[in-house]
Amino acid sequence: MKKIFSFLLLACAYISVHAQEYFTITQYDVAVHVNKDASLDVDETIHVHFTEPRHGIIRLIPYKYPLQQLPAGTEKANRQLESGGYAHTMVENIKVDAWEFDVSTEGDYKSIKIGSGDKTVDGDQVYAIHYRMLNAINFFDSHAELYFNVIGDRWETTIDSVNFSVVFYDALPATQEYFVATGATGSRENNTTSNWIDNKTFSGHTNTGLGYHEGLTVGIVIPKDFLVQQNYNLIGIWWLLLPVGVFASMLAAWRKWGKDEKPVVQTEFYPPG
């Protein structure tokens, strides 16, 4: 019983998205950088106000999404890494400025536990999170689409204000079609002021706060061939290619250094007896 009680105390040491009474988010800033190889570099700055001492927060980032049945006649995106009824992305290079953190996988999410088990914090705190996301762009025959949840719907607290931007690696040929949605899952309401600053940067901010389980999604149409789609299908089976690489290296080394020299037979002449 003591072990179980100790485990429960440790599990409660961190503020998760379920501990709504312990903190609010006063400001949430998100910058999404779209690279030519279709990867996304994401920078999040979360301003948190704790109402009592706690050890930190947990940020959940989804990395797989249930596949939805498309209406008849709808073009299916040319996506990779689809299996078991899910579309998979990859979340890499996770970093947190100035805080201890730990990353694990929890269901459909990457869980970033931020804070120290030895210290508590109170009042206003700032958490800056950085990560790269792969396979997050939908490619079609005539164009590509960015569909990104700038603020996910897993926060069980209020978010007073959101500032967001999407910056492309280079200027687009023209400002592109877009949409922004705020609120609960499935909402089409756009409670933001948002627009293109120029052909490279789309940005906006919320006009009012977000409530419990409310998020913010941005979609942008991208011209064909502006991004280069990568092949991620071999990433999970790279180890199968390892023996081939080792054999090729050994063969090259043998050809260079390991061949035995042909024996030279020297003819000796003796004077007649």
Please report the pLDDT score of residue 12 as a whole number. 42
Q: Where are the alpha helices (DSSP H) in 70-110?
A: none
Residue 72's Cβ-count burial label (10 Å; 0-12, 13-18, 19+) is: exposed
Eight-state DSSP code of residue 142: S
Please report the pLDDT score of residue 244 as a whole number. 54
Secondary structure of residue 41 in the 3-state scheme: strand
* 209 contacts 194 by C-beta, under 8 angstroms: no
Please report the pLDDT score of residue 76 as a whole number. 82
* 15 contacts 85 by C-beta, under 8 angstroms: no
The C-alpha atoms of residue 240 and residue 238 are separated, in whole angstroms, by 5
Displacement of CA 183 from its chain's centroid (Å): 22
Mean pLDDT by 10 residues, the chain (273 residues): 38 45 92 98 98 95 86 81 88 97 96 95 97 96 96 94 98 96 94 97 98 97 97 63 60 62 43 41
The C-alpha atoms of residue 258 and residue 251 are separated, in whole angstroms, by 9
* 178 contacts 220 by C-beta, under 8 angstroms: yes
Displacement of CA 237 from its chain's centroid (Å): 20
Please report the pLDDT score of residue 81 as a whole number. 86
